[in-house]
Amino acid sequence: MIRIKDTQYPNTAAFLGNAIRIAEYYGFAPLEGMQRNPANTGAASSKRGVLPLAKIESAIAFARRDERTLLSSARKCMSCLPTQVNLPSASATGPIAPPHSGTLLAWRTLASTTGIPSVSFELHVVGSASAIAEALLIVVANAIAQEAGINERALAINNIGSSDSSNRFVRDIGLYLRKHIDSISPTLRPRAATDPLGTLVQLIERGHPATPRAPQATEYLTEEERRKFWELLEYLEMFGLPYELNAHILGSRDCWSHSLFEISTMDTETGARMPIAFGGRYDPLASRFARTPSSATMVSITCEVRGKATVKREKRVPQSEAQPAIYFAHLGGEARRRVLGVLENLRRASIPVHQGIWYERVAEQMAAARTLAVPYILIMGHKEAMEGTVLVREVATNSQESISLPELPNYLKRRRIGAWKQEAHA
- CA gap 264, 144 in Å, rounded: 13
Strand pairing category for 153-159 and 257-266: antiparallel
376 falls within a domain: yes
Residue-wise pLDDT for 139-197, tens only, equals 999 999 999 999 999 999 999 999 999 999 999 999 999 999 999 999 999 999 999 99
Q: What is the pLDDT of residue 424?
A: 38
Pair 290, 299: CB distance under 8 Å: no
Do residues 32 and 116 both lie within one domain? yes
**Which parts of 112-145 are beta strand (E)?**
118-126
Q: What is the mean pLDDT of residues 210-230?
A: 96
Q: What is the mean pLDDT of residues 377-399?
A: 96
- Please give the single-letter amino acid code of residue 286: A
Q: What is the mean pLDDT of residues 231-236?
A: 97
Q: Facing residues of 326 across strands?
A: 376
- CA gap 125, 77 in Å, rounded: 9
pLDDT at 283 over 70: yes
SS3 236: helix
pLDDT at 89 over 80: no
pLDDT band at 419 (very low <50, low <70, confident <90, very high): low
| Number of structural domains in the chain | 3
Which of 219-223, 250-254, 415-419 bottoms out in mean pLDDT, i.e. has the lowest?
415-419
Do residues 171 and 31 both lie within one domain? no
- CA gap 239, 5 in Å, rounded: 29
Pair 284, 78: CB distance under 8 Å: no
Do residues 138 and 268 both lie within one domain? yes
Do residues 226 and 149 both lie within one domain? yes
Residue 252: DSSP 8-state: -
More confident: 42 or 214? 214
Q: What is the pLDDT of residue 315?
A: 61
Pair 304, 9: CB distance under 8 Å: no
Do residues 10 and 114 both lie within one domain? yes
Among 136, 120, 139, 138, CA closest to 128: 136
Average pLDDT of the chain to the nearest whole number:
88
Q: What is the pLDDT of residue 58?
A: 81
Residue-wise pLDDT for 291-315, tens only, equals 889 999 999 999 999 999 989 876 6
Do residues 37 and 116 both lie within one domain? yes
126 falls within a domain: yes
Residue-wise pLDDT for 105-133, tens only, equals 999 999 987 778 999 999 999 999 999 99
Do residues 252 and 366 both lie within one domain? no
- CA gap 264, 132 in Å, rounded: 21
Residue 201 structural domain: 163-213
Q: What percentage of the chain reaches a pLDDT higher than 90?
A: 72
316 falls within a domain: no
